[in-house]
Structure 1
């Protein structure tokens, strides 16, 4: 059988819906999704294998003007994902009605790189058609996009049409991964991301996004279950108190919710143990970045 294979980089501003789109395309939850901007930190590769075609979908951190070392590493990882990509999807939040400064900066960078892209206007379920057309015409007039799709990554509207375009655009070549593989991200790191998702969801307004979840131990047990130990790292003593909650109530809630999702995701019993520590300088230390698979320079 002649096969096709390629990679698609999904880029866009924070909260444009990149991770939601990845999950919708895969039909499975792989990237974490929260209300908080800049949730995605690691490069997540999701794999679609249908018929004779395999697509590697690369979900990237949101593109914005970085300030900290962590943010610079995240943005650099996102731009690096374009190298070797056969197709680039620029996801734009259509509900915003006008491209903001972040979207314009991304488009300028794409233009400087002479990078053609496919434009995906997301969240069309939140805007009336007559409001959407001016935005479509404005972005189309730039001449940067080979095609424009209007979708709702949340509801799935328009996603199958986009998926068909991706499958048809992949070049001839051998598959890079086994047919039944969903991602190249380790289960240890995926589990840490699930816990971080619960951390951000339950402490959305109180806790800065700078908190990290580190995988510490993974033990396979004879009964088929798995024991996972993770450490939540925060930058201030006050943040640690928030995560723990009164008499440890909050961290128990975070652990319970993460444990339930991991059990469903892995299809077996998960024993999850969480610790919380304070490290004011964790964002400046290379060992943390290596855990996330982020390169520092």
Structure 2
């Protein structure tokens, strides 16, 4: 472990672990479980994750750089293409690729993105939802489809098997110096983390389709003299009717979203937060390169 001053051990290890898989396989939940703190937003809806987010976990002498990625799916919009490109780029840059599979659905991609030199591990998630007698045959069936170096069975939600996976990653990543301080949990700017926590509330509080037609752009992030943070964010929607839904009757919905997001951001930052939201109609924002860049994506990236 790191010493009291945060210095890495002499025999340090450090490596990038890309967590890839279908939408809603539990990638963000696994990153949070491995880090031991909530970093990536989660919701029951698919395609919640839109950009790469790195969680940083310590395991013995190893620093694990855990990259949460958007799900692999057939893209339609420029936003979708940029999301899939993010996942594939993360896989190419990884030392280890974790293919996370929902055990209840058990679907594998036809090909595994990433460099052939980086080992791929199969991680069956949500094993608490599948009969135990089915798990071993299922693992054997899926492992036969690709040359997986290792197979793990976990429940990222309950934590079952997560410690074993973390320890295995710690011994498998390359030897080398840590790239981040011992107390750093992510490489994401605070303003983007705050925007993601607001977007999480859009997924949790709005209907099935509206979150996919919306985005949260950080406008300003200011630390005040008393240590509190003043944050202004813009919620983009595609149509005026969607703006009315986000606002709600007499502004009740936007207040509920703001209150919940303010509490989540305050907990994540460890300080008092003043959050101001406003809703803007921007038709076609999901095809707008400047908006996608503001969201942390790279428009124009191709598979």
Give the TM-score taking structure 2 as reference length: 0.92
* Among candidates 202, 209, 224, match of residue 221 of structure 1: 224
Counterpart of 2:20 in structure 1 is: 11
Counterpart of 1:20 in structure 2 is: 29
* Counterpart-to-counterpart distance in 2, 1:90 and 1:129: 21
Q: Superposed, which structure 2 residues align to 1:1-297 within 5 Å?
A: 1-96=10-105, 98-99=106-107, 103-105=108-110, 108-110=111-113, 116-205=119-208, 207-297=210-300
* Counterpart-to-counterpart distance in 1, 2:227 and 2:178: 31
Deviations 1:169-206 (A, max 9, x none): 01111111111111110000000000000011000325
Q: Please, which moves more after superposition, 283-292 or 17-26? A: 283-292
The SS at the match of 1:24 is: helix
Aligned length: 291
Unpaired stretches in structure 2, ≥5 consecutive residues? 1-9
Kept in 2, the 8 Å contact 1:111–1:144? The answer is: no
* Counterpart-to-counterpart distance in 2, 1:164 and 1:173: 17
* Counterpart-to-counterpart distance in 2, 1:2 and 1:120: 27
* Counterpart-to-counterpart distance in 2, 1:176 and 1:141: 35
Q: Please, which moves more after superposition, 128-137 or 8-17? A: 128-137
* Counterpart-to-counterpart distance in 1, 2:191 and 2:25: 27
Unpaired stretches in structure 1, ≥5 consecutive residues? none
The SS at the match of 1:11 is: strand
* Counterpart-to-counterpart distance in 1, 2:285 and 2:146: 43
